[in-house]
Amino acid sequence: MRIAAAIAVIVATALGLAAAQAEPRLGADRGKDDAALLRDEAKAGPELQRRLRDQVALKDGLLVIQDRSATTPSVTVMPQSVMWSVDCSESGLAVTFGSGSGETDNGVSLQLTAAAPNQEQCLALAPALGQTVVAILKGE
């Protein structure tokens, strides 16, 4: 009986650790990690493009957006022709689909970094992310 209880505790612990590793890290640690990432130009572009592609896909002519950064991940489906923008500011890098992302707006904003890029980094990374959005919308 004790062995079965011990095995149950080990399995539950392992499942909890696996779930924690699958979730994106937010907060101060993510901000520090993202600041270090932004300083490495060779890694920043591909990693941010990967983060974007991990959350946005074109399926049967519809844009499927999975926001994994929130405490409760959400899925939004929009038409392929939706307006979009890349925002690079003191809040970090984000891609918004639809018209805005406030409470009364119909947009979805995907925050890709928790650290603020500098002007040079914005000028390099924002257009590259825009090209990634275009490629996703083409089904590439």
For the chain, what are the domain ranges? 26-137
**pLDDT tens for the 140 residues of the chain, in order:** 445 443 443 434 343 433 433 444 445 566 678 888 888 888 999 999 999 999 999 999 999 999 887 677 789 999 999 999 999 999 899 999 987 655 556 788 899 998 989 999 999 999 999 999 999 999 99
Q: Are 98 and 83 in contact (CB under 8 A)?
A: yes
| Three-state DSSP state, 60 | coil
Burial pattern 63-99, b for ≥16 Cβ within 10 A else e, equals: bebebebeeeeeebebeeebebbbbbeeebbbbbbbe
Q: Tell me the whole-structure pTM to 2 decimals.
A: 0.72
> pLDDT value at position 22?
41
> pLDDT value at position 6?
39
